[in-house]
Amino acid sequence: MDIRQLIKGHRLATVSMAVSSTLGGLAEAAFLVLATRLALAVSDDADTVEWFGDRTLATRDAVLVALGLVVVRLLLAVFSNRLAAAMAVRITADLRGELADAYLHASWRRQQDDRVGRLQELMTNYTMAGSNMVSGVSSAITAAFGLLAMLALAVAVHPVGALVVIGAVALLGLALRPVRSRIGRRSSETSDTGMAFATGLGEVATVGLELQVFGVQHHMGARVQRLIDEGQESNRRLVLLRGIVPHLYTALAFLALVGALAIASAADAGDVASLGAVMLVMLRSLSYGQQFQVSSAIISTSRPYLVELDEQIRSYRAEAVVDDGAPVGAVGAIELRDVHFSYLPDRPVLHGISATVQPNEVVGIVGPSGSGKSTLVQLLLGLRTPTSGAVLADGRPIDTLARSEWVRKVAFVPQASHLLRGTVADNIRFLRDHLDDAAVERAARLAHLHDEIVAFPDGYAHDVGEGGGHLSGGQQQRLCLARALAGDPEVLVLDEPTSALDARSEALVRETIAELAHRMTIVIVAHRTSTLEVCDRIMVVQSGQLVAFDTPFVLQVASPAYRDITQTLEP
């Protein structure tokens, strides 16, 4: 992502900043020239002040003009800064919106490829680099056009001294170019270490409970400290380089001024007042040149972040979910036809699974950990596509069906409940604004949660708290069940909805499933034998293969694998 891409759509603001900076630079240079000559006139007790060329001003008029130039310079600076601030804020917001949109519309596979904490780092520090870049560009525009205006006026007042300094400034820019390139490389290293730290910190938040239980906080602290040290060293080198640039520029520029004075003196060029005014203008120009160098360093620092951000957005866009499939209609029977799946080449997870789930049938899935149950669920939900074979609904591959319609007909209840900030009603509705209050209440009743909700002082407006902390574990799980049922789906997939519940909540969830049986197709990943009681048939999965698929009675008699697995399940 280059500067032109970043400020595209903000050309008017950019041009306005350039114009106001040029006018501001002219006003400031004119003030410095006038102030110098006014000081000499006052010291000589003169009634008039030389202006430009042969023009003169009365001393009193010169003071008024000088004050007017200060006011004009201030107004132009405020105008330019307002434009720069508005553009920086707008571009940061646009980058965040584009990143969020690209991520949210990317495929589940692409989202799962990102490490924990990566999106947060991209959304914060990396998008802020856009604001820094715009600030750097705005500052560079102000400095460059202000500098050009001052130099132009200086040439008009005293050509010899001004041209010597202009040549020196140009050489300074070339001399400092390798330093700016090195800053860019250091910034790229810093962005990499920053991302590593963010993802490492994300892991800390994810495994916080395990760290406490296993008592390994010290070891994790050492791991995080290594990331901090790496980031600190990288950032130290970057800050050092950025800090050297303005001082190096100032030292060289002062030498250029001394050279200009020496040349002008040797050439006996011009009067003292003009030469003094030009030197004052040139000294002020140095601050613009320094500002330009600092801005260039900021731009070099920000660019690697924006390049990475652009690549990430492109990668999300490249794997966006395209919703151009055929109408779903009735889901009908769901068929797994010789399904194979691999996350990595030559490392298959599922092998040749073939099975058919009939409409309004309750099917359980059992198998040891790592057997491929979760992958199978993701395939049934249409979140992933088989490496070979097909998942069909009513004889049609589900990846050829309209995604927006499919997600309304197939709902999911995960094993761990995930709640949003907001009310109970908000979490049952779950951003589906088309669901009215009646649909929310109906779903809560089906999940046997309505009576507990209305017992809250604020009923459905009850705040669930951070992470659902204002609800019990059983209430959270049944709220997620109500969320799935609110859209009136044809297929309900549950990843063991009772594995972490108390006896009462477990009984209520099983009661809901029993009541829904034969009204919709239900697929349950089971970790408890009690869940299997409501199933018409059960899939037995081992090592990525479907080793049996029949009624619980038949499996108990004819499937040693089923008997072995059920012995390991909770009651």
Output the six-digit token pair for 569: 């399940």
Residues 170 and 101 in one domain: yes
- Res. 245: pLDDT tops 70: no
Is residue 172 situated within a structural domain?
Answer: yes
- Res. 218: pLDDT tops 80: no
φ/ψ (deg, to 5) at 546: -85, 105
Residues 298 and 271 in one domain: yes
Where is mean pLDDT largest: 193-202, 322-331, 481-490?
A: 481-490
> Which among 293, 318, 343 is the end of a domain?
318
**What pLDDT, on a 0 to 100 scale, did the predictor assign at position 262?**
60
> Which among 318, 348, 372 is the end of a domain?
318
In single-letter form, the type of residue at position 19 comes to V
Residues 216 and 349 in one domain: no
Residues 194 and 291 in one domain: yes
Confidence class of residue 269 from pLDDT cuts 50, 70 and 90? very low
Is residue 99 situated within a structural domain?
Answer: yes
Show the beta-strand stretches assigned E in 367-439.
388-393, 396-397, 410-413
The CATH number of whichever domain residue 119 belongs to comes to 1.20.1560.10
How much of the chain, in percent, has pLDDT values that exceed 70? 74
**Stretch 194-220: mean pLDDT:** 60
Distance CA 423, CA 420 (A): 8
CA angle, 274 then 277 then 283, to 5°? 140
Is residue 57 situated within a structural domain?
Answer: no
Q: pLDDT digits over 501-528, tens only?
A: 667 877 888 888 888 888 899 999 987 7
Q: How many Cβ atoms from other residues are within 10 Å of residue 161's Cβ?
A: 28
Residues 343 and 302 in one domain: no
The CATH number of whichever domain residue 549 belongs to comes to 3.40.50.300
- Res. 351: pLDDT tops 70: yes
> Which among 288, 318, 348 is the end of a domain?
318
Residues 270 and 126 in one domain: yes
Output the six-digit token pair for 434: 């088309």
Residues 249 and 379 in one domain: no
Between the alpha carbon of residue 308 and those of residues 48, 99, 192, 304, the distances in Å are 61, 12, 10, 6
Contacts of residue 59, Cβ cutoff 8 Å, sequence gap at least 6: 38, 41, 42, 46, 47, 48, 49
Residues 449 and 540 in one domain: yes
- Res. 213: pLDDT tops 50: no
Residues 362 and 420 in one domain: yes
Quick one: which of 489, 566, 504 has its CA closest to 535?
566
Q: pLDDT digits over 372-416, tens only?
A: 898 999 999 998 999 999 999 999 999 999 988 998 999 999 888
Is residue 329 situated within a structural domain?
Answer: no
End-to-end CA distance of the chain: 57
**Stretch 436-460: mean pLDDT:** 94
- Res. 473: pLDDT tops 90: no
Residues 363 and 506 in one domain: yes
Is residue 283 situated within a structural domain?
Answer: yes
Is residue 201 situated within a structural domain?
Answer: yes
Q: What's the total number of domains in the chain? A: 2
Confidence class of residue 140 from pLDDT cuts 50, 70 and 90? confident
Distance CA 490, CA 294 (A): 61
Least confident of 113-122, 153-162, 327-336, 559-568: 153-162
Q: pLDDT digits over 517-557, tens only?
A: 888 999 999 877 777 888 999 999 999 999 999 999 999 99
Range of the domain at 97: 89-318
Is residue 24 situated within a structural domain?
Answer: no
Q: pLDDT digits over 271-309, tens only?
A: 555 555 566 666 666 677 767 777 777 787 788 888 888
**What pLDDT, on a 0 to 100 scale, did the predictor assign at position 116?**
65
**What pLDDT, on a 0 to 100 scale, did the predictor assign at position 157?**
67
Residues 389 and 511 in one domain: yes
Q: pLDDT digits over 25-62, tens only?
A: 888 878 877 777 777 777 777 778 776 666 778 888 88
Residues 371 and 416 in one domain: yes
> What is this structure's pTM?
0.73
Is residue 164 situated within a structural domain?
Answer: yes
